[in-house]
């Protein structure tokens, strides 16, 4: 988990949320390690999400163990941004909550 003593969060929770591009994510977990708010979890890709991927991205998922990052606690995000550069696949963007 990230070090909250050195993290400068920019927003109140719920204003900004991380969006994970499942076509790029390989489930390596760097986002889990750096997030001070426990926003992310790595788990098996949901069947519906898997079916929504193109053939090449389905193959990529199989090669990388069918694991991706999900954001079950997205409403806790405080927009510190540590997850964005931590992701080696550049699969995370911070977006305004809808």
What does the pLDDT read at residue 3? 46
Buried b (16+ CB within 10 A) or exposed e, 53-65: eeeebbebbeeee
> For 7-16, how does the pLDDT look when each residue is reduced to its tens digit (9 = 90+)?
566 777 778 8
Rounded Cα–Cα distance for residues 34 and 93 (Å) = 15
Q: Please state, as a whole number, how many other Cβ atoms lie within 10 Å of the Cβ of residue 37.
A: 22
Q: DSSP class of residue 54? A: -
Judge whether 64 and 15 are in contact, CB under 8 Å.
Answer: no
Task: Map out the domains of the chain with their CATH numbers.
Answer: 16-96 (3.30.70.20)
pLDDT, one tens digit per residue, over 62-89 is 999 999 999 999 999 999 999 999 999 9
Mean pLDDT of 30-35: 97
Reply yes or no on whether the pLDDT at 6 is more than 90: no
């Amino acid at each position: 988990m990230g070090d909250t003593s050195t993290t400068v969060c920019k927003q109140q929770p719920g204003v900004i949320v991380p969006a994970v591009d499942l076509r790029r994510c390989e489930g390596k977990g760097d986002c889990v390690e750096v997030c001070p708010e426990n926003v992310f979890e790595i788990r098996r890709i949901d069947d519906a999400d898997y079916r929504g991927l193109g053939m090449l991205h389905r193959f990529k998922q199989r090669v990388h163990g069918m694991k991706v990052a999900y954001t079950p606690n997205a409403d806790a995000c405080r927009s510190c941004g540590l997850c964005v550069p931590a992701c080696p696949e550049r699969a995370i963007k911070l977006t305004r909550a809808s």
